[in-house]
């Protein structure tokens, strides 16, 4: 197959080999808005029908083995994305569920498993990634190169992938000899160490814990721009969001570790075995979520694991009143599938024992490898290793809405840290003087950070001079998260405390730096130039949080380099353009509207995101425009803009303007 970025088009030749087991009227291949020609079955040209959603074959095939070949062409509106241009161009796919048929004639039903091999032609100076082993890559001419990838085992079509871009690669080898390929865009190549930190350890742990050898022969991971989700577990080849590409400091604020482990776990739970329908989706997401947490426990210990489980329990409890669809239902929420699914597995594992649980999981995977499964298939294996009442478990945890708080807390409180945390939480209504000594002991102790964070939350309403000794104790911590908790909770303090608070500007955390700069700039206007000088070269995370904040503050500080205001403004405005990822654009738009709500340049920058493929960004733009057009001046501006913008943007903007 070949691709053309300018036309956002894909075309190629498809060859399928298939068996007809019994008499059938029509063979259907899912294919959305594609054109076909030169279709042959068993080397004979035959007629076919193209319904715009399916390629229908009704003649030329026979019982037994058959071959099918045809040429196709498509200009997909979704699933295959062309991001950026020139050297910054990336092309990638996201077929989760049933959407690969928008760019590749395939099968939307997850129960149809095939062995895929893809040959992709593209420009020589790009890297092309797909599923399976790269058999070879060779130049076709002076411009193009062909990459030939081959799977050896069957998989569902939604897991077929492409990722094309200017990538650098590093490779590790696991304890079992599996090659792990890690990719980053060339401009981010200095961030391999911290983006992929613990990568090999995660793989080695999961392979050992699951008890079934990684089944696919190779594993690769690549981050792409403007990806729709955190990550996607395409067989052998995970795509993930560039949000998780971090340097040494960014690693203290956001890591790829959980997403890394989650997508890797899917290579067994989802890819090796696949839920037969949406009703059983928890068998994929619940397992991947839970095994990612087990991997984190291996890396960071029992307290970390139990804190994660506690926070999940809190979210599930808070959502239970409005989120009423149970786990064993195809319409359940992501929170239910992922996080309640993980808790259901934790309940099982705690009750049948880790050894029995692992034994059942191993048998389950081995029995249904490369096949489709349902909940009963898994619970049947649990019953073989334990007398645990799986029927009652299914009724309570899978078929009933809500969250079983009492049972979850009973398990959590076996952990000393969680028990201690809950005791501190219970002190919230106790007068400060009665708990002061206890707080001092906690801040002096080597307690896990959430306990100290809770102490600092309870200190928020206490007069500064009274709590100052405790604040200083917390600030002496070497734990970035404890110090960050001080910065978050200490919103007001006297000027004489400035030297201490200013130390947050030097913390190894972009989030702490941002919090501190905001507080200092807001509360101490006379020092603004000083803080702007100190933070002049900050950039921050991939969303440029610190750079965009700095430019905003520089523009809002009247006596700070007024001769450079145009330069600062132009840079900030530049970040709203299509040359940047959606998180950067949204951040810049928000800050420019803060500086000048009536800036027509920014208002215009809000229109293009209306058609952005990432729904979160599109939603932001729609909601912001809805808010603005409540004022007649803004409504008039957007109305006058309609003739100047592309049709797809015009349709959405017109709809917003006509809303009542």
CA–CA separation, 656 and 610 (whole Å) = 10
Collect all residues with Cβ–Cβ distance below 8 Å to 126 and sequence separation of at least 6.
89, 164, 165, 166
Residue 134 pLDDT > 90? yes
How far from the centroid of its chain's Cα atoms is residue 107's Cα? 25
Residue 290 has pLDDT above 90, yes or no: yes
**12-31 tens-digit pLDDT:** 999 999 999 998 999 999 99
Average pLDDT over residues 52-63: 95
Assigned token pair, 101: 């048929």
Give per-residue pLDDT as tens, 541-575.
999 999 999 999 999 999 999 999 999 999 999 99
* 257-269 pLDDT per residue, tens: 999 999 999 999 9
Rounded-to-integer distance, Cα 482 and Cα 472, Å: 11
Which pLDDT value is given to residue 267?
98
Residue 372 has pLDDT above 90, yes or no: yes
Dump strand ranges (E) for 89-244: 90-93, 113-114, 117-123, 127-129, 133-139, 144-150, 155-156, 163-165, 167-173, 179-185, 219-224, 231-232, 237-241
pLDDT bracket for residue 535 (50, 70, 90): very high
Tell whether the model's pLDDT for residue 649 goes beyond 90. Answer: yes
Q: What is the pLDDT at residue 248?
A: 97
Question: CA 37, CA 105: separation in Å to the nearest integer?
Answer: 13
Report the DSSP beta bridge partners of residue 273.
269, 371
Residues 6+ apart with CB under 8 A from 38: 45, 69, 70, 71
What pLDDT shows up at residue 408? 97
Q: Report residue 368: phi and psi, to 5°.
A: -115, 20
- pLDDT tier at 41 (50, 70, 90 boundaries)? very high
pLDDT of residue 1: 96
For 520, counting Cβ atoms within 10 Å of its Cβ (0-12 exposed, 13-18 middle, 19+ buried), the class is buried
Q: What is the predicted pLDDT for the residue at 97?
A: 84
**Rounded-to-integer distance, Cα 25 and Cα 8, Å:** 35
Q: With bands split at pLDDT 50, 70 and 90, how would you rate the model's confidence at 281?
A: very high
Average pLDDT, the chain: 97
pLDDT at 491 over 90: no
pLDDT, average across residues 337-357: 98
State mean pLDDT over 338-353: 98
> If residue 14 lies in a helix (H) or strand (E), which one and from where to where?
strand 9-20
**DSSP code of residue 213:** -
Predicted confidence (pLDDT) per residue in 581-613, tens digit: 999 999 999 999 999 999 999 999 999 999 999
What is the pTM for the complete model shown?
Answer: 0.96
Q: What is the pLDDT of residues 392-435, one digit of tens each?
A: 999 999 999 999 999 999 999 999 999 999 999 999 999 999 99
Q: What is the pLDDT of residue 282?
A: 98
Local structure of 137: helix, strand or coil: strand
Looking at residue 514, its pLDDT comes to 98
pLDDT bucket at 168, cuts 50 / 70 / 90? very high
**Could you tell me how far CA 499 lies from the centroid of its own chain?**
39
Q: What is the pLDDT of residue 660?
A: 78
Q: With residue 474 as reference, give the H or E element that holds it.
A: helix 464-475
Helix (H, G, I), strand (E, B) or coil at 492: coil
Nearest to 122 by CA among 167, 182, 188, 184: 167
| Confidence (pLDDT) at 45 | 97
Please, where are the H alpha helices in 353-404?
A: 354-367, 375-385, 390-393
pLDDT at 502 over 90: yes
| Measured torsion, CA atoms of residues 99, 100, 106, 109, in degrees rounded to the nearest 10 | -40
């Amino acid at each position: 197959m070949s691709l053309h970025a300018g036309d956002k088009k894909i075309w190629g030749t498809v060859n399928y080999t298939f068996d007809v087991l019994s008499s059938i009227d029509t063979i259907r291949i899912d294919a959305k808005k594609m054109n076909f020609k030169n279709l042959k079955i068993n080397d004979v040209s035959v007629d076919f029908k193209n319904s715009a959603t399916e390629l229908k074959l009704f003649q030329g095939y026979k019982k037994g083995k058959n071959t099918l070949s045809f040429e196709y062409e498509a200009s997909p509106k979704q699933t295959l994305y062309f991001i950026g241009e020139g050297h910054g161009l990336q092309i990638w796919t996201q077929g989760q569920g049933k959407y690969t048929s928008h760019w590749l004639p395939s099968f939307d039903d997850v129960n149809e498993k095939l062995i895929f091999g893809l040959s992709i032609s593209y420009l020589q100076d790009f890297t092309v990634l797909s599923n399976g082993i790269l058999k070879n890559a060779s130049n076709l001419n002076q411009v193009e190169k062909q990459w030939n990838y081959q799977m050896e085992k069957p998989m569902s079509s939604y897991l077929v992938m492409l990722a094309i871009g200017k990538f650098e690669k590093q490779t590790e080898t696991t304890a079992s000899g599996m090659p792990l390929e890690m990719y980053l865009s060339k401009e981010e190549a200095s961030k391999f160490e911290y983006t992929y930190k613990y990568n090999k350890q995660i793989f080695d742990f999961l392979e050992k814990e699951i008890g079934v050898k990684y089944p696919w022969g190779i594993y690769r991971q690549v981050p792409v721009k403007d990806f729709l989700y955190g990550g996607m577990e395409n067989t052998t080849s995970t795509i993930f969001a560039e949000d998780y590409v971090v340097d040494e400091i960014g690693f203290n604020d956001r890591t790829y570790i959980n997403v890394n482990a989650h997508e890797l776990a899917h290579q067994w739970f989802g890819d090796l075995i696949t839920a037969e329908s949406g009703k059983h989706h928890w068998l994929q997401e619940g397992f991947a979520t839970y095994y990612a947490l087990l991997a984190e426990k291996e890396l960071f210990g029992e307290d970390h694991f139990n804190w994660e489980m506690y926070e999940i329990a809190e979210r599930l409890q808070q959502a239970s009143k409005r989120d009423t669809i149970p786990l064993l239902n195809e319409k359940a929420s992501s929170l239910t599938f992922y996080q309640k699914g993980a808790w259901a597995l934790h309940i099982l594992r705690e009750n049948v024992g880790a050894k029995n649980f692992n034994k059942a999981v191993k048998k389950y995977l081995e029995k249904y490898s490369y096949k489709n499964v349902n909940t009963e298939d898994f619970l049947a294996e649990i019953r073989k290793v334990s007398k645990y009442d799986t029927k009652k478990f299914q009724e309570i945890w899978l078929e009933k809405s809500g969250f079983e708080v009492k049972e979850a807390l009973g398990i959590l409180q076996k952990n000393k840290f969680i028990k201690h945390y809950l005791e501190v939480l219970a002190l919230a209504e106790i007068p400060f003087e009665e708990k002061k000594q206890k707080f001092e002991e906690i801040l002096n102790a080597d307690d896990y950070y959430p306990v100290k964070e809770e102490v600092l939350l309870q200190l928020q309403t206490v007069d500064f001079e009274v709590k100052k000794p405790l604040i200083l104790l917390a600030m002496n911590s070497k734990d970035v998260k404890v110090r960050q908790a001080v910065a978050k909770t200490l919103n007001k303090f006297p000027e004489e405390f400035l030297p201490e608070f200013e130390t947050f500007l030097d913390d190894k955390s972009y989030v702490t730096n941002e919090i501190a700069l905001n507080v200092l700039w807001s509360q101490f206007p006379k020092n603004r130039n000083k803080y702007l000088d100190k933070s002049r070269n900050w950039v921050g995370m991939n969303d440029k949080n610190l750079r965009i904040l700095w430019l905003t503050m520089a523009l809002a500080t009247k006596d700070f380099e007024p001769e450079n205001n145009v330069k600062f403004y132009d840079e900030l405005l530049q970040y709203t353009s299509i040359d940047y990822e959606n998180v950067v654009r949204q951040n810049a738009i928000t800050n420019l509207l803060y500086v000048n709500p009536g800036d027509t340049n920014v208002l215009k920058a809000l229109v293009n995101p209306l058609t952005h493929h990432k729904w979160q960004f599109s939603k932001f733009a729609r909601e912001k425009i809805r808010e603005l057009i409540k004022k007649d001046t803004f409504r008039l501006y957007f109305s006058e803009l309609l003739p100047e913008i592309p049709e797809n943007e015009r349709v959405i903007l017109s709809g917003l303007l006509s809303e009542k």
